[in-house]
Amino acid sequence: MEKIGFIGLGNMGMPMSKNLVEDGYDVLGHDLNKDALTQFEEAGGKTANSGGEVAANCDVVFTSLPSSKAAEAVYLGEDGLISHSHKDIVLVDTSTVAPEMNEKIAKAATEKGIAFLAAPVSGGVIGAVNRTLTFMVGGSEEVFKQVLPLINALGTDCFHVGETIDSGTTVKLINNLLIGFYTAGVSEALQLANKKDIDLDKLFDMLNVSYGQSRIYERNYKTYIANNDYEPGFTISLLLKDLGFALDLAKQQDLNLPISEQLVSLYTETEKEGYGPKDMAVLYEKVKAQGKT
Ligand code: NAD
């Protein structure tokens, strides 16, 4: 059985790596956060002190990191994945990072003859826990097929988008642009229900069978708004990161997306007001507080 590495044991990486342990794989985890390492060991995983140690000892390494900067450190750093990889390894980045970072890592990997896939995911923490993630994978189809059994163990819908390394990321950024819009729409529309004393549970049941329904409305309302609990989940800061990547990508294509720019301003303001570490559904509370003034 292949030996698997997992770097970035956060909200997404922890459940994904635990699922691989549960499947009987020998999984070597690494994270900067010591508590995450302890939690992973308690779940039966083994831990390493660096990305380099993971690369040297594994056949396939997954990463789930919060930013392009973190991905750069983990893949291209002195004690990182690329410099310590052997030629048969496959590296799979499930993080959402800038398309340019996909390209930078792919270039370094190719120079060393190492296989690398940029494989962002959708489906949230619930999807990571329940193995129902959607994978959008850019890179070699041959390599994709090689690791498909592992990816299928983590998600239900695993797409090879194209040979271009950032093709999966492009799809993921389109997805998250829509998530940003849906979250903003739900946050504002529900305020009207509040002002007119419409019961939000009943509203949900009615809209759930109407065209106003969306998976984001269901997720944001049922898991967060209805419980008045905004522990992430998917934070405002992570969403803002992805919206920024989407707008940068649009600019690079000479594409003007004025409504999306307004959306970015809204989330930037929300982050500045201190909501950054909360789940994105918290936008509802910000809009609610605004409506009161
Ligand atoms: P997170 O912040 O909860 O987890 C990231 C983990 O990476 C943390 O444990 C952190 O300590 C670790 N880390 C950071 N820098 C590191 C380094 N240099 N070396 C080792 N470990 C390092 O983030 P998350 O919510 O799990 O998201 C991870 C990625 O998945 C992001 O790119 C995000 O956009 C994407 N994503 C998240 C969700 C979601 O719902 N949370 C959904 C889909 C995609």
Q: Round the average pLDDT of the chain to a whole number and report it.
A: 97
Tell me the mean pLDDT in the region 210-238.
97
Could you tell me how far CA 51 lies from the centroid of its own chain? Answer: 20
**Band (108; pLDDT cuts 50, 70, 90):** very high
Strand, helix or coil at 235? strand
Ligand 1 closest atom vs CA 77: 18
Per-residue pLDDT of 158-167, as tens digits, reads 999 999 999 9
For residue 94, the CA-to-ligand 1 centroid distance in Å is: 9
Could you tell me how far CA 290 lies from the centroid of its own chain? Answer: 29
Report yes or no: 109 and 91 within 8 Å, Cβ to Cβ.
Answer: yes
Tell me what pLDDT residue 285 has: 97
**Band (241; pLDDT cuts 50, 70, 90):** very high
Torsion of CA 162, 147, 63, 78, to 10 degrees: -90
Tokens standing for residue 133 = 């993630």
**Band (225; pLDDT cuts 50, 70, 90):** very high
For residue 7, the CA-to-ligand 1 centroid distance in Å is: 9
Q: What is the distance between the alpha carbons of residues 82 and 114, in angstroms, rounded to a whole number? A: 8
Packing angle between helix 99-111 and helix 68-76, nearest 10 degrees? Answer: 10
Q: Which residues pair with 121 in a beta bridge?
A: 135
**Residue 209 CB contacts under 8 Å (≥ 6 apart), including other chains:** none
Cβ of 66 below 6 Å from ligand 1 = yes
For 57, half-sphere exposure in the C-beta direction (CA atoms, 13 angstrom radius) is: 17
Nearest CA, atom 38, ligand 1: 124
Cβ of 176 below 6 Å from ligand 1 = no
Tell me what pLDDT residue 209 has: 97
For residue 86, the CA-to-ligand 1 centroid distance in Å is: 25
**Band (1; pLDDT cuts 50, 70, 90):** confident
Q: What is the distance between the alpha carbons of residues 130 and 95, in angstroms, rounded to a whole number? A: 18
Phi/psi at 138 (5° precision): -110, 140
For residues 291 and 243, which has the higher predicted lDDT (pLDDT)? 243
Query: Which residues belong to the active site?
Result: 172
Tell me the mean pLDDT in the region 121-141.
97
Q: What is the distance between the alpha carbons of residues 106 and 123, in angstroms, rounded to a whole number? A: 25
Query: Which is it for strands 133-138 and 121-122: parallel, antiparallel or unpaired?
Result: antiparallel
Examine residue 233 and say whether the peptide bond preceding it is cis (omega within 30 degrees of 0).
yes
Could you tell me how far CA 276 lies from the centroid of its own chain? Answer: 16
Could you tell me how far CA 100 lies from the centroid of its own chain? Answer: 17
Cβ of 16 below 6 Å from ligand 1 = no
Q: For residue 267, what is the enclosing H or E element?
A: helix 258-270
Report yes or no: 85 and 112 within 8 Å, Cβ to Cβ.
Answer: yes
Tell me the mean pLDDT in the region 139-166.
98
Residue type, 293: T
Per-residue pLDDT of 50-87, as tens digits, reads 999 999 999 999 999 999 999 999 999 999 999 999 99
Cβ of 70 below 6 Å from ligand 1 = yes
Query: Is residue 235 pLDDT above 90, yes or no?
Result: yes
Q: What is the distance between the alpha carbons of residues 4 and 241, in angstroms, rounded to a whole number? A: 28
